[in-house]
Amino acid sequence: MEPIDQAKEIVDTMLGYLGFVVHVTKDETTDQPALQIFTEEAEWLIGRRGERLDDIQYLVNRILQSRTKNAPRIRIDVEHFRTMREDDLVGDVQGLGEKVRATGRPVKLQPMNSYNRRIIHNLFANDPDIESWSPPERSPLKQITLRRRQAQADGNT
């Protein structure tokens, strides 16, 4: 059985035991393996600011890893909540990037988890003017700073 099918079974069984009536489908719209959960009780599965959804995703991936050692991480979403939230994050941060581009002043973002930081870093990875920077300390929540990209030393000084 494929890891995505195992994850689908885990989600369906786990939420069924908790009393939720759900319909779980494979989400073909993303580059990574993903599941989409549809239910009348979406707000209960999402939780405040998506914390419960993060917990569900964590548990499913832990169970999947215990069954299949090299299983890929499965992204779990409830009624496209995570997708819409990521789209909002990208839109907001692009606006802040334009502010940095116009003023030259760095902007610190709210602390965020590693998944959201990766989205932001990838967003500015190829930007010629703006770079994203986060401190090297090991912390689950870090603040990214958007700043003007430093000119590369070309060695012809």
Query: Is residue 155 included in any domain, yes or no?
Result: no
How far apart are the C-alpha atoms of 71 and 75, rounded to whole Å? 12
35 and 63 in a common domain: yes
Task: Give the pair of three-digit tokens for residue 79.
Answer: 């009624």
Task: Assess whether pLDDT exceeds 90 at residue 49.
Answer: no
Domain assignment present for 157: no
Do residues 71 and 113 share a domain?
no
CATH assignment of the domain containing 108: 3.30.1370.50
Does one domain contain both 94 and 111? Answer: yes
Angle between helical axes of 114-124 and 81-103 (0-180°, round to 10): 50
> Which segment of 54-58, 81-85, 122-126, 135-139 scores lowest on mean pLDDT?
135-139
Q: How confident is the model at residue 155 (pLDDT cuts 50, 70, 90)?
A: very low
Q: What is the pLDDT of residues 129-151, one digit of tens each?
A: 999 988 887 777 788 999 998 76
15 is in which domain, residue-wise? Answer: 3-79
pTM of the model: 0.74
pLDDT at 136: 81
Please tell me whether residues 11 and 70 are part of one structural domain: yes
d(CA 157, CA 149) in angstroms, rounded, equals 19
Q: Is residue 92 located within the same domain as residue 137?
A: yes
What is the C-alpha separation between 54 and 77, in angstroms, rounded? 9
Nearest to 7 by CA among 67, 48, 85: 67
What's the pLDDT score for residue 28? 84
User: Contact, 120 vs 93, CB < 8 A?
Assistant: yes
